[in-house]
Structure 1
């Protein structure tokens, strides 16, 4: 079932505008890398923070809710094979580096998400494994990352050449970092139905395995199914189906290891399919289920929407459209 992506909301503000490409800095003017972070615990939440919003959102959410981990969305191609935030902002932007450093000083950390539904995905823009690997390495080293997220959806999911190129580049990078005594976790974020992943996502994961890529977790987008339904049950049904599917790919893993390989990301409040509403009660259902099963990561789309709108039922990129207090979803899914 084809679905509308949550990311259309945030990117819509840039559609139809002229974007000035951000070129890679000259070798003599490379900014200092971000400070190293503490990494991640065995189980955590990391809501998606929109990089087209202010970097101060990280500190605002941390101060208000205690949230320490975030997923920065999205790195896509700008001006060809050139990794940028949102297609128009350098990954070494001083404001973002400062926000990441402040979060890490407070004991938190960030994941960077590559892809999303809009713009040009880096694996499609970079036409060789070596050039793609160089862009991933530039982002990882500039922000001192220990974890990256690959959000692959829409037509990109069916681009088998890009999928193979991406898996080879990341597998090589993982190996090179391991040789140097560093660790890089790689996770995939994929669309899902309550019955589980579709075949193109399964093909992508099989390709990752065949290329020797160590996939840390598979994060499913539990949203935009089409008809109205109980969104809490839909999220847990999808997680249960994923558990079986992962077991057929990684056959040597135990049941507990497979649950620990899962992530779950709903779109809070009113979804792009407006008949679907993920409520605060649904969030509680998902949080309890995740704790009982040992799911590694919970997230949601998106941090900038974690507050009530003026009118319930409203679809917005800046509020949830469902009754809630500010950062209620952040607190519940922690």
Structure 2
């Protein structure tokens, strides 16, 4: 599938780790749970922060820009049906817990994103609703989350049994947390074309609705379409098409409510499809459009790439490949 390389740039960084050793508790293990966070406002930005990079990236970005919200990428299976950061790092890792607590003390918060294009997605590794639910609950309780993101793409998106299992597990958790007086917002991050979601994504969302899962927002990956195009216009065209598609699923919502169900996530700079370049001017176009429509969330792939490369035009997992100042996309999309 055309998006299956979206996060493949980082696979090599994780591949050399010995999973069993990293998953083992250490003498400096973190507390059982991170401190509670303040949650999220009605509209916010939350760039994807790579969990194979240093947790200090959160504080560095906050200190440089004032950015307060981040999406932790990614929680995937490590050593079977076992939720880990990046397949090799325990969820209660002391460095990540400390970084999250510091961010929350400054008024920020985090979303944990499950899935991505690399590694084994938990809905595939955990083959029953009960085991999958237990892994989601472990992450939510350990990190004291109020919001989770499910980044479902590639062949995983076509696995209808896993989609149903995932939606059932999340719906049960959502109900149980509500009974206990806790909030759990669930969002889906899905591939898109400028003409909107493909049918497999629509099927997933219809399944979520049929399982009584409340989907707070649908975040579209406005990237890697194939041919070169104006990436700012492609992002806003996709958002407009999504608005109509969401209205055909959630038929009782107003137009304003449908816009508020949207998220938008470009890949900044040079995309995996290298003819596509999402520029700082494209970011301004998207930010203005999102403000005018009341879109709930803006994000981008990825925080570690939000700086210029030595040479423009190159695809890299550590810089954008387009002309920019450090953290320019973070500032623009805030």
Question: TM-score range, shorter-chain basis?
Answer: over 0.9
Query: Shift in Å at residue 32 of structure 1?
Result: 2.4
Deviations 1:236-263 (A, max 9, x none): 0000000000000000000000000000
| TM-score, scaled to structure 1 | 0.97
Residue in structure 2 matched with residue 116 of structure 1 by the alignment: 116
Residue in structure 1 matched with residue 321 of structure 2 by the alignment: 321
Query: Shift in Å at residue 114 of structure 1?
Result: 0.2
Asked if the contact 2:287/2:332 (under 8 Å) is kept, the reply is yes
List aligned pairs for 1:13-162, cutoff 5 A: 13-15=13-15, 17=16, 19-21=18-20, 22-23=22-23, 31-162=31-162
Query: Shift in Å at residue 313 of structure 1?
Result: 0.5
Query: Shift in Å at residue 20 of structure 1?
Result: 2.1
In structure 2, the gaps of 5 or more residues are: none
Counterpart of 2:19 in 1: which secondary structure? Answer: coil
Asked if the contact 2:30/2:93 (under 8 Å) is kept, the reply is no
> Matched residues in 2 for 1:23 and 1:129: separation?
23
Asked if the contact 2:30/2:97 (under 8 Å) is kept, the reply is no
Query: Shift in Å at residue 25 of structure 1?
Result: 5.6
| TM-score, scaled to structure 2 | 0.97
> Matched residues in 1 for 2:278 and 2:220: separation?
15
Residues 1:289 and 1:169: Cα distance change in structure 2 (over 3 Å) = same
Query: Shift in Å at residue 59 of structure 1?
Result: 0.2
> Matched residues in 2 for 1:3 and 1:327: separation?
25
Residue in structure 2 matched with residue 286 of structure 1 by the alignment: 286
> Matched residues in 1 for 2:5 and 2:42: separation?
29
Deviations 1:22-81 (A, max 9, x none): 54769xx88321000000000000000000000000000000011000000000000111
> Matched residues in 2 for 1:20 and 1:2: separation?
29
Query: Shift in Å at residue 3 of structure 1?
Result: 3.1
- The alignment's C-alpha RMSD in Å is 1.4
> Matched residues in 2 for 1:320 and 1:4: separation?
19
Residue in structure 2 matched with residue 274 of structure 1 by the alignment: 274
> Matched residues in 1 for 2:263 and 2:292: separation?
14
Query: Shift in Å at residue 221 of structure 1?
Result: 0.2
> Matched residues in 2 for 1:196 and 1:18: separation?
38
> Matched residues in 2 for 1:230 and 1:301: separation?
18
Residues 1:309 and 1:295: Cα distance change in structure 2 (over 3 Å) = same
> Matched residues in 1 for 2:23 and 2:165: separation?
23
The count of corresponding residues between Structure 1 and Structure 2 is: 331
Residue in structure 2 matched with residue 216 of structure 1 by the alignment: 216
In structure 1, the gaps of 5 or more residues are: none
> Matched residues in 2 for 1:132 and 1:101: separation?
26
Residue in structure 1 matched with residue 204 of structure 2 by the alignment: 204
